[in-house]
A and B are shown apart, each in its own frame.
Chain A
């Protein structure tokens, strides 16, 4: 089942009533809508005048909802997740902590390979030259010690958009990409928590200032799906501003169809397939982590 994404972009009171999230207009006290909490996956708070009750927060966390708050640039700034989203939490953490260095390097290799593969597929889809990427993919070593990921990315960005450099605070459409990645990151972090893993402890990312290293690892092969969404929007509308329309478009990332493990699934569901296969890799039941294919 595809769970729902709720975006709050206007002044609102959010409260809990009879296990429903109630959105109320603060001035008129008018009820603008109710949503069953068990149906929600993401709750995005994108306005300074939003008031939320603690009772509601607890209920949201009890249902593993990722609550995302946005800053003055309307970009996702913080995320709130429950401390444990799985009944076997402690057992699973043990396996994650015990993962050996060679295993992590192997998993990272698979991750990079699939990321490059998906980047290549996106270039192919838009009739751009993609041959070098195939070669980069073949040469990924364990732990990606020769940094094929970076080299592939350089080529990829240069050919996907014209006159474009991918930077965190760079020019458009970086703003759209950042927004999409932030949403994707929270979807992945949520799935990791619900599979009983610590999103803090990555297989490759290990920046001491980063609280979501594992989410950043696992989301890599999913990034091209965001790129595809942004690319299609930018090309057909020639529009770069991050407003309500573009956000609504990018927020559909959760329902994009992806091909994973032999079936077509919405991305939101595919991410949980990936995270549960990751856990099986940690326990030794699987050798290959399941990633989506872009086609």
Chain B
């Protein structure tokens, strides 16, 4: 596969950070629905209230960003961030003091 078509600069990660109010039953329901919509859209949990999705192109990242914007809850803080795979790869990740592996970008061909 040619590298420029599926490169570290074209692959994008969309991250969604959110802080939603969960005081009342109603608020918890809204927060749950927002989270569910993210999962429906192919996001996976990275940390509590941080979800991420791998997108093979910039255009595709735009699609998913737009979808998140459409399902924003009325209250609470949400941050949507698009970064390239290159930047994502520079992230350092720890569990306790032990360094752990980053989430892998999905392959075009996946064998199960």
| Total chain A interface residues with beta-carbon distance under 8 A | 31
- Apart from A2-B56, A7-B112, A39-B56, list 15 A-B contacts with CB within 8 A: A1-B57, A1-B60, A2-B57, A4-B107, A4-B108, A5-B109, A9-B112, A12-B112, A23-B112, A32-B112, A33-B112, A38-B42, A254-B108, A257-B5, A266-B5
Contact A5 B42 (CB under 8 A): no
Task: List the A residue with the shortest CB-CB distance to B55.
Answer: A1
Whether A5 contacts B110 by the Cβ 8 Å rule is yes
A18 to B60, CA, bound (A): 20
Contacts of A7 in B (CB 8 A): 109-112
Interface size on B, residues (CB 8 A): 21
Q: Is A20 an interface residue (CB 8 A)?
A: yes
| A159 adjacent to chain B (CB < 8 Å) | no
Q: Is there a chain A Cβ closer than 8 Å to B59's Cβ? A: yes
From residue 7 to 39 of chain A, which have CB atoms closer than 8 A to chain B?
Answer: 7-10, 12, 18-20, 23, 32-36, 38-39
- Are B56 and A257 within 8 A (Cβ)? no
Please list 28 pairs of residues, one from A and one from B, whose beta carbons are closer than 8 Å in the complex, sorted by A's number.
A1-B57, A1-B59, A1-B60, A2-B108, A4-B106, A4-B110, A5-B110, A7-B109, A7-B110, A8-B112, A9-B112, A12-B112, A18-B39, A18-B40, A20-B39, A34-B44, A244-B111, A248-B109, A248-B111, A251-B109, A252-B108, A252-B109, A255-B108, A255-B109, A256-B1, A257-B2, A264-B2, A266-B5
Interfacial chain B residues near A1, Cβ < 8 Å: 56-57, 59-60
| Chain B residues whose CB sits within 8 angstroms of the CB of A23 once the complex forms | 112
B19 in contact (CB, < 8 A): no
Shortest distance from the beta carbon of B36 to any chain A beta carbon, whole Å: 7
Q: Which of A257-295 contact B (CB under 8 A)?
A: 257, 264, 266
In angstroms, Cα B109 to Cα A257, docked, is 15
